[in-house]
Amino acid sequence: MKTLLSLTAALALLLPAVAQTQSPAEQLGWTLAVHSYTYQKFSIYDAIDKTAAVGAKHMSISGNVNLVDDSGKITAKPTITTSEKDMAAIKARMKAKGIDPVFVNMGVVRPSINEAESRKIFEGAKRLGITVLVAEPETHGKMAELGPVMDVVEKLAKEYNIKVAIHNHPGPNNFYWNPDTILAAVKGRSPLLGACADVGHWVRSGLDPVECLKKLEGRVITLHFKDLNEKGPKAHDVPWGTGISNAKGMLAELKRQNFKGAFCVEYEYNWENSSPEIAKCVTWFNATCAELATP
């Protein structure tokens, strides 16, 4: 009994020390990642270098990856077809730059009702160690096709144990622009299915991103996080916390929901020289997490 009590006391002393080693974001269960599409003007290797330079430790990868051939030319190829050799080189670069070599997610991909073709996406993701697919399942814009394609997506998600987060490009012409459609897609289905909340596209579509997050409570798997300069289709990214998207309010809402997952920086403005602005996003995120994580 004395030995057991001593062990319990030792663990009690150790646990606070472990908690202190976690960053505020980690205490909240959040990961900050830079989406490779942010640096789509550059090779994946340059994207990795730029991610490290802005202070991020994680990445998500687009549905296409910019590889460099022997002549130095950059060519975009489907990520799921990336060779073992190229992926090994990509992960080696990530490790060398202090970035976790496991991508937090991949996408946007477009599975369809064709199970054989959709299976190629899941098979490629599994081979590359991807555990979350960001997707806009193909419906040809018809609600009648939503159920059948989601049947295929759900079957494959379960078979491969891969989460599928439905993304929302801006509306009103994009099928998934409104969270109500995403809710209809996942209603009654596996918890492997949910949303990739692109909060900036909601603002472009004239929606309130905090209210959209509330609608999707329990189904948010990951985010393409943004802050925009104005509402409407012509809006562009600005450093987080400086725009009109209520960025802090969104983080507070996600904390209320007990969300656990990745915030992906998908900065779609000032493409050639966005790193200074992205660095400000990273700084703001860390500072806001520190506020929210304080008891």
Whether 241 maps to a domain, the answer reads yes
Nearest 5°: the CA angle 286, 290, 292 is 115
- What residue has token string 């001593």? 6
* Residue 235 confidence (pLDDT): 98
Residue 103's nearest CA partner among 75, 130, 65, 70 is 130
Whether 215 maps to a domain, the answer reads yes
User: In this structure, is the dihedral angle defined by the CA atoms of residues 70, 81, 200 and 295, taken in order, positive or negative?
Assistant: negative
Whether 255 maps to a domain, the answer reads yes
Residue 172: pLDDT band (50, 70, 90) is confident
Summarize pLDDT for 114-138 with one digit per residue, the tens. Answer: 999 999 999 999 999 999 999 999 9
Nearest 5°: the CA angle 133, 137, 140 is 160
Residue 204: pLDDT band (50, 70, 90) is very high
Q: Are 72 and 45 in contact (CB under 8 A)?
A: no
Whether 4 maps to a domain, the answer reads no
Which structure tokens are listed for 136?
Answer: 């806009």
Summarize pLDDT for 48-96 with one digit per residue, the tens. Answer: 999 999 999 999 999 999 999 888 899 999 999 999 999 999 999 999 9
> What percentage of the chain exceeds 90 in pLDDT?
90
Which structure tokens are listed for 83?
Answer: 């060779």
The CATH number for 58's domain is 3.20.20.150
Give the number of domains in the chain: 1
Whether 18 maps to a domain, the answer reads no
Q: Are 153 and 119 in contact (CB under 8 A)?
A: no
CA-to-CA distance for 87 and 77, rounded, in angstroms? 12
Which structure tokens are listed for 171?
Answer: 């509306």
Q: Are 153 and 164 in contact (CB under 8 A)?
A: yes
Query: For the residues 197-213, what does the mean pLDDT come to?
Result: 98
Summarize pLDDT for 220-276 with one digit per residue, the tens. Answer: 999 999 999 999 999 999 999 999 999 999 999 999 999 999 999 999 999 999 999
Question: Which residues form the domain of 85?
Answer: 24-293
Whether 137 maps to a domain, the answer reads yes
Rounded to two decimals, the pTM is 0.93
CA-to-CA distance for 100 and 51, rounded, in angstroms? 11
* Residue 70 confidence (pLDDT): 84
Whether 105 maps to a domain, the answer reads yes
CA-to-CA distance for 63 and 239, rounded, in angstroms? 25
Summarize pLDDT for 3-26 with one digit per residue, the tens. Answer: 544 554 555 555 455 556 999 999
